């Protein structure tokens, strides 16, 4: 046994720690937390995305499984602990990424299909132009008018996009005969990453997901809290393939002892944005969480009120703990961290830490606008990232500032939509994610929305949220009031400029966005 390493066979020590694992779009991270929510040990590995064809984005399930197990073992070892000291495991996962596999053999029919994958673009375009969808709009518009029931509002303007799991799942059954055949015999299992990891951790004995991940697929109906029979019938999706849905903070069973040497209790499954919301302690109606990572996510706690979809805003289940069900409204922004990473790859800067200083070193972007892209819009047109307004005097600093300004401008547009559509007074705004470390973006966003924004000391809120949920289920922490006392704020950004000072630059950017739609 190496010197200084704890004896894994020692007498059972009190379980004084919880694990929070976050399987994100770019990294798999594990943190070991003590009762003060301080990180005692960590490990991370880069997610290895596969691009087998243009527009396809996949993950190898075996590689992901190996990374998941690896970061847990490494984090516990780094903390100088042994597995017997772990009270529970909470798992946060990227949303919408899914896999299907054979119920009897456990063998996948394909790799994980990522939420970033756009292979369903032709299906999306076809459906959005179909007569059937227009008929559905009319029927549900009439139903909403006659009943006033908000559950009929979303279908009245239903449109499909490549980000929706339903479209990609429809693609699977149209293009992978083995999956279609297995589904006909009730031998096909569907699962997001959390479901697959739980299935593997328990050697196939537990097949489940939680309400937050289920609602994030778009196939689960948040009003009725069940898998949507309407959508399944519409897209000819088998109804037998979906996992049972459990509470978010819940004893899902234990990891098989062969994996970690001891049976670690699996005490929480949660979707990453909802997990970050919980980690930020946004427990009250009107609390707002802004995550700026690979993409951007504005989440508003709407409490017991479920707001129907409002085109750019979507209703989600935040978490379910016992009888408590907390709903969220979410708005999304694509290509935030992705755009910054791309700019680094083409040598606009060496380190992301430089970008705020580069942007602040000049008065403005000289009219240069960055148009985000790499997505398929609702009407099926492809939007490509681009710069507009380039001049002979344009420097790297102007390009970098234009990229960062585009993030703040999009935050402003989405914030204004939330204020207009969500009729709940907005309270605290808390930011997390890698881009929240950029002081230029944070300050400009605060100026534009004229609101104070808090940034936590630890930006890995998805891991912390998963750990909090696992800790509550295992009795490691007693209640949410105790969790609120564990929050640590690193910085507070308060408005320093009148938002009107940004009006000319934002108007130019909005014009550039309109022009880009015709590209």
Encode pLDDT of 422-465 as tens digits: 989 998 899 998 899 999 999 999 999 999 999 999 878 999 99
pLDDT value at residue 118: 92
- Is residue 6 scored above 90 in pLDDT? no
Question: β-strands 17-23, 27-33: how paired?
Answer: antiparallel
CATH of domain 332-458+470-516: 3.30.420.40
Mean pLDDT across the chain, nearest whole number? 90
- Is residue 149 scored above 80 in pLDDT? no
d(CA 479, CA 89): 17
pLDDT value at residue 157: 62
Residue 444: name the closest of 414, 410, 405, 396 by CA: 405
Q: What is the mean pLDDT of residues 3-11?
A: 38
Tens of pLDDT, residue by residue over 346-395, are 999 999 999 999 999 999 999 999 998 644 443 444 557 889 999 999 99
Tokens 């997610």 belong to which residue? 47
Q: How confident is the model at residue 190 (pLDDT cuts 50, 70, 90)?
A: very high
- Is residue 136 scored above 80 in pLDDT? no
Could you tell me how far CA 101 lies from the centroid of its own chain? 23
pLDDT value at residue 31: 98
- Is residue 312 scored above 50 in pLDDT? yes
Decide if 263 contacts 255 (C-beta within 8 A). yes
Q: What is the mean pLDDT of residues 115-140?
A: 85
Instruction: Provide the b/e sequence for 48-80 (b: ≥16 CB within 10 Å).
Output: ebeeeeebbbbbebeebeebbbebbebbbbebe
pLDDT value at residue 192: 98
What the block records as the tokens of 426 is 């907005």
Q: How confident is the model at residue 153 (pLDDT cuts 50, 70, 90)?
A: low
Burial of residue 186 (CB within 10 Å: 0-12, 13-18, 19+) is: exposed
Residues contacting 15, CB < 8 A, separation 6+: 84, 85, 86, 87, 88, 474, 476
pLDDT value at residue 5: 36
- Is residue 200 scored above 60 in pLDDT? yes
Residue 187: name the closest of 235, 246, 229, 238 by CA: 238
Number of alpha carbons in the 13 Å side-chain half-sphere of residue 205:
9
Cα 265 to Cα 31, 242, 268, 271, distances in angstroms:
16, 24, 9, 19
Q: What is the mean pLDDT of residues 455-479?
A: 95
d(CA 512, CA 373): 13
Give the number of other CB atoms < 10 A from CB of residue 107.
9
pLDDT greater at residue 518 or residue 103: 103
- Is residue 477 scored above 60 in pLDDT? yes
Question: β-strands 489-493, 324-333: how paired?
Answer: unpaired
Q: What is the pTM of this model?
A: 0.89
pLDDT value at residue 10: 40
Domain boundaries for CATH 3.30.420.40 within the chain: 332-458+470-516
Q: How confident is the model at residue 154 (pLDDT cuts 50, 70, 90)?
A: low
pLDDT value at residue 135: 80
């Amino acid at each position: 046994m190496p010197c200084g390493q704890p004896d894994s066979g020692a007498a059972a020590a009190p379980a004084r720690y919880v694990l929070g694992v976050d399987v994100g779009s770019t990294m798999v991270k594990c943190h070991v937390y003590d009762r003060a929510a301080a990180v005692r040990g960590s490990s991370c590995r880069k997610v290895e995305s596969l691009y087998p064809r243009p527009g396809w984005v996949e993950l190898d399930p075996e590689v992901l499984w190996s990374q998941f197990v690896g970061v847990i073992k490494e984090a516990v070892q780094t903390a100088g602990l042994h597995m017997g000291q772990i009270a529970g495991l909470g798992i946060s996962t990227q949303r919408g990424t899914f896999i299907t596999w054979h119920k009897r053999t456990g063998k996948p029919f394909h790799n994980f299909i990522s939420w970033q994958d756009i292979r369903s673009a032709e299906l999306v375009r076809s459906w959005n132009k179909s007569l059937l969808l227009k008929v559905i709009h009319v029927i549900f518009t009439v139903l909403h008018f006659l009943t006033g029931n908000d559950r009929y509002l979303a279908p009245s303007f239903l449109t499909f996009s490549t980000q929706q799991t339903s479209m990609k799942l429809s693609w699977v059954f149209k293009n992978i005969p083995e999956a279609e055949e297995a589904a006909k015999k009730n031998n096909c299992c569907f699962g997001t990453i959390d479901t697959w990891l739980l299935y593997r951790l328990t050697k196939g004995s537990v097949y489940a997901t939680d309400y937050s991940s289920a609602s994030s697929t778009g196939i689960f109906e948040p009003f009725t809290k069940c898998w949507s029979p309407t959508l399944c019938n519409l897209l000819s999706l088998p109804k037998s393939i979906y996992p049972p849905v459990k509470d978010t903070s819940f004893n899902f069973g234990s990891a098989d002892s062969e994996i970690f040497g001891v049976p670690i209790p699996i005490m929480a499954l949660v979707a990453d944005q909802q997990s970050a919301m919980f980690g930020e302690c946004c427990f009250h109606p009107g609390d707002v969480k802004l995550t700026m990572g690979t993409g951007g996510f504005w989440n508003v706690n709407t409490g017991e009120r479920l707001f129907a979809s409002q085109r750019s805003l979507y209703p989600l289940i935040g978490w379910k703990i016992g009888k408590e069900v907390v709903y969220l409204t979410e708005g999304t922004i694509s290509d935030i961290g992705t755009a910054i990473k791309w700019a680094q790859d083409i040598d606009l800067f060496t380190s992301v830490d430089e970008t705020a200083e580069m942007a602040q070193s000049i008065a403005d972007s000289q009219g240069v606008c960055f148009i985000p892209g790499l997505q398929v819009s609702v009407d099926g047109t492809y939007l490509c990232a681009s710069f507009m307004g380039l001049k002979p005097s344009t420097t790297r600093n102007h390009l970098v500032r234009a990229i960062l300004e585009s993030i703040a401008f999009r935050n402003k547009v989405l914030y204004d939509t939330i204020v207009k559509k969500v009729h709940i007074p907005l309270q605290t705004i808390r930011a997390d994610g890698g881009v929240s470390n950029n002081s230029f973006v944070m300050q400009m966003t605060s100026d534009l929305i004229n609101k104070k924004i808090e940034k936590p000391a630890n930006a890995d809120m998805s891991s912390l949220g998963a750990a909090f949920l696992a800790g509550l289920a295992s009795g490691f922490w007693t209640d949410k009031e105790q969790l609120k006392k564990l929050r640590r704020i690193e910085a507070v950004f308060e408005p320093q400029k009148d938002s009107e000072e940004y009006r000319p630059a934002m108007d130019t950017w909005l014009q550039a966005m309109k022009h880009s739609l015709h590209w």
